[in-house]
Amino acid sequence: MVNGMMMAHDGMIKTFPLRGIKDSPPYLRDGRCFTLEDFVEYFNLVQELHLTALEKANLVAFTHAL
């Protein structure tokens, strides 16, 4: 139990690397985000993160650096 939830080992989870992400638009499984700026704004809205313009710009700059 972790935080009141039953944990189970169902196998490894494969996550995709972020290296070179700027070179592989469109983003999301259905291609709805055409730029990294769209991608950051999408999650800002969906997750209700309330990111500032500077925070969003920093995230985009970080992903461009990968």
Query: Where do the domains of the chain lie?
Result: 21-65
pLDDT at 12 over 90: no
Across 4-18, 21-35, 38-52, least confident range: 4-18
pLDDT at 11 over 70: no
Ramachandran class of 31: left when φ > 0, alpha when ψ lies in -120 to 50, beta otherwise: left
What average pLDDT does this structure show over 26-53? Answer: 93
Mean pLDDT across the chain: 86
pLDDT grade for 28, boundaries at 50, 70 and 90: confident
Q: What token pair was written down for 42?
A: 């999408």
